[in-house]
Amino acid sequence: MTHLGVRGRLFLVSFLLVLAAGTVTGVYLEGQLRGWLNLRMQRELLDHATVARGAIESVGGPGTVAALDPLVKRLGRGLSVRLTVVAVDGEVLGDSWVPAARVAGLERHDGRPEMRAAAKLGQGIARRHSATLDRDMLYVALPFEGDATSGFVRVATATEEVDQVVTRLRWMLFFAALVGLFVAVVMSFTASHLLSRGLRDLLVRARAMVGGAATVDGTPRDEIAGIAHSLTHLGGALEGVVGTLAQERDRFEGILEAMADAVVAMDARRHVTLINRAGLTLLGLDARPTDGPLLEALAPALREALAPALAGDAGSRDIDLPDRQLQARVTPQRQGGGVVLVLHDVTRLRRLETLRRDFVANVSHELRTPVSVISLNAETLLDGGWKDEKRAPQFLAALQRNAQRLSALVTDLLDISRIESGNFEVHPETVAVFAVARVALDAVEKLGADRGTRVELDVPPDLAARADRQALEHVLINLLENAVKYTPETGHVHLVAHADGGEVVIEVRDDGPGIPPEHRDRIFERFYRVDRGRAKHMGGTGLGLSIVKHLVASMKGTVAVEPNTPRGTVFRVRLPARAPGEPGPSPTGAPRSAPPESR
């Protein structure tokens, strides 16, 4: 076939395919048809034999040829088959295709295969050549039981009809094959013409892509060879393009890896095709999932949150998780039905927004009560209440008390604003912790005495820390007043301190109701209260512990809250200790007090 062109090859292949298909189809259909016709004939003969047996048994089965042969001939004509009745010993008692005079002279039939099968199995079927009729016949035999005699009823028909149908099928298949070959010739010629023209166009385009001439040879062999030659040159050009694309891919991957946002590209089945390092970290994956869709590899909470985003249209949506908040943007790809998912962790931003809203709401709430009290009392006095010598002092005392509360709130707001903005300057120096603790203790001594709470001090006289003296006084006063207010009457508050390596640990312990675990992480937030009703009754601005946290941080220390044993709370402050060789503590200065925190 090497000397044939494209058209010749296509025609030869089409011819061989049609010829092979026709041959195989003809052989298969002939076998199927022949088997189906034989099975149908067997069923019909079995039905006829059953009818004939019933008729013979109904008349009692007479045992002589003269009595039975006329009945057999009538039944044979009615059923359009050859009907033979044979006695048990093989004697023919009647035959519908043999004249009555010759029936008695027929040889015994007990050796016929259908008779032996019927005697043994109750039904006999055989296909063989009949010596009596000199024809191929299909036999079906059934046993019968009569009053006068018993034997076999045999029904037979010639198989010529099957052969005629099969022969007709062969001719039909032959003509169908001729028609198929003609169609194949026409189709192969048309297809080869179109293919040859397509190859010419392909060769022209291939040469044009590699910068070659657009002229082609007219022979099909030259067309194939020309295409191969042009594709070789095209492969070299593609290598250069692939190299350029690889560089662009590396640059693109570098940009993705440097992004702080998570970028995930998925195909139409939501299988991950690209994911950057930020995406692996944000989704909690060790490597790009390859066993299934992205959602199957994620944690249940993240899977439930991302499913609506991936199932919806393009756009941005917020995703709330138990431990963080994400902003997801889904962009469908133009081809392939895939999507690009960009996730941005907005947990810190949302938290700051929440803190801002809470701060505004809390400040408004804290200001509303004293302002309302001042306004109502002033209005009462203006309406003549100042003339009431008994109640006028109460109104004035309320005015003074709420004015002081407003002043304390404004002072704390200014302090925390200056601390958070960095305008509050601390000047760390070596400070005697005992002297500062003594000043703080004196500041809360009257409050403790009024409540019957005993405040004890356990600080080594020589213990020194690196801190701002006024800031440390502020911290200790706030913590002590907070502990005294929340300790039951006759309770105890302890201020203890000790050195711990390169740090000084100061603890304020009380035996009050304690702080539940779920509130400890937020106790240092502004205006956060564990028991709002009780905190309002005890007074305070709600900013004390927040100021403590920021002041300790500005002195490069830490503050934490833990449960006390057996009950109560421990606020623990850690500050840098005095380095060896530093000068001793500074002299005592005037303490700087601040309103206490309310839990």
- Tens of pLDDT, residue by residue over 286-313, are 777 766 777 676 767 666 667 776 665 6
> According to the model, what pLDDT value does residue 284 have?
76
> According to the model, what pLDDT value does residue 64 have?
65
pLDDT tens string 72-90: 888 888 888 889 898 888 8
Cβ-count burial of 487 within 10 angstroms (0-12 exposed, 13-18 middle, 19+ buried)?
A: buried
Measured in whole angstroms, the distance separating CA 565 from the mean position of its chain's CA atoms is 48
pLDDT at 482 exceeding the cut of 80: yes
> According to the model, what pLDDT value does residue 209 have?
61
User: 97 or 388: whose pLDDT is higher?
Assistant: 97
pLDDT at 428 exceeding the cut of 80: yes
Average pLDDT, the chain: 77
Q: Return the CATH architecture of domain 426-576.
A: 2-Layer Sandwich (3.30)
pLDDT at 27 exceeding the cut of 50: yes
For CATH 1.10.287.130, the residue range(s) in the chain are 350-420
- Mean pLDDT over 220-238 rounds to 63
CATH topology of domain 259-345: Beta-Lactamase (3.30.450)
- Mean pLDDT over 575-598 rounds to 55
Say if CB 33 and CB 166 are below 8 A apart: yes
Identify the CA nearest to 593 among candidates 467, 479, 504. Answer: 479
**Which pair of structure tokens corresponds to residue 535?**
């905190």
Highest averaged pLDDT of the listed ranges 291-305, 315-329, 452-466: 452-466
Instruction: Work out the pLDDT band at 324, boundaries 50, 70, 90.
Output: confident
> According to the model, what pLDDT value does residue 546 have?
83
Query: Taking the C-alpha atoms of 565, 570, 576 and 577 in order, what is their torsion angle to the nearest 10 degrees?
Result: -50
Query: Taking the C-alpha atoms of 173, 178, 184 and 185 in order, what is their torsion angle to the nearest 10 degrees?
Result: 170
Identify the CA nearest to 427 among candidates 463, 386, 482, 467. Answer: 467
Q: Which of 180-184, 257-261, 593-597 has the lowest mean pLDDT?
A: 593-597
Strand partners, 569: 510, 563
- Mean pLDDT over 386-392 rounds to 74
Strand order in the sheet with 262-266: 272-275, 262-266, 339-345, 325-332, 315-320
Instruction: Work out the pLDDT band at 391, boundaries 50, 70, 90.
Output: confident
Highest averaged pLDDT of the listed ranges 52-61, 272-281, 472-481: 472-481
Question: pTM, whole model, 2 decimals?
Answer: 0.41
User: 131 or 584: whose pLDDT is higher?
Assistant: 131
Which residue type, as a one-letter code, is found at position 442? D
Strand partners, 574: 505, 558
Say if CB 18 and CB 177 are below 8 A apart: yes
> According to the model, what pLDDT value does residue 509 have?
93
> According to the model, what pLDDT value does residue 61 have?
66
Q: Which of 212-221, 396-405, 410-419, 477-486 has the lowest mean pLDDT?
A: 212-221
pLDDT tens string 210-226: 565 444 444 445 555 55
Cβ-count burial of 370 within 10 angstroms (0-12 exposed, 13-18 middle, 19+ buried)?
A: buried
The values of phi and psi at residue 298, to 5°, are: -95, 165
Instruction: Work out the pLDDT band at 345, boundaries 50, 70, 90.
Output: confident
DSSP three-state, residue 310: helix
Say if CB 296 and CB 289 are below 8 A apart: yes
pLDDT at 529 exceeding the cut of 50: yes
Identify the CA nearest to 140 among candidates 34, 35, 48. Answer: 48
DSSP 295: G
Instruction: Work out the pLDDT band at 537, boundaries 50, 70, 90.
Output: very low
Instruction: Work out the pLDDT band at 590, boundaries 50, 70, 90.
Output: very low
Highest averaged pLDDT of the listed ranges 179-183, 274-278, 494-498: 494-498
Cα distance between residue 487 and residue 480, in whole Å:
10
pLDDT tens string 364-375: 766 777 787 788
pLDDT tens string 373-384: 788 778 777 777
For CATH 3.30.450.20, the residue range(s) in the chain are 259-345
> According to the model, what pLDDT value does residue 586 have?
52
Cα distance between residue 523 and residue 486, in whole Å:
14
Cβ neighbors of 232 (< 8 A, separation 6 or more) are: none
Please give the class, per CATH, of domain 350-420: mainly alpha
User: 111 or 535: whose pLDDT is higher?
Assistant: 111
pLDDT at 472 exceeding the cut of 60: yes
Cis peptide before 289 (omega within 30 of 0): no
- Helix extents (H) in 59-138: 65-79, 100-103, 113-121
pLDDT tens string 134-193: 778 889 999 988 777 788 999 988 877 777 777 777 788 778 777 877 777 777 777 766
> According to the model, what pLDDT value does residue 23 have?
80
> According to the model, what pLDDT value does residue 226 have?
57
> According to the model, what pLDDT value does residue 227 have?
61
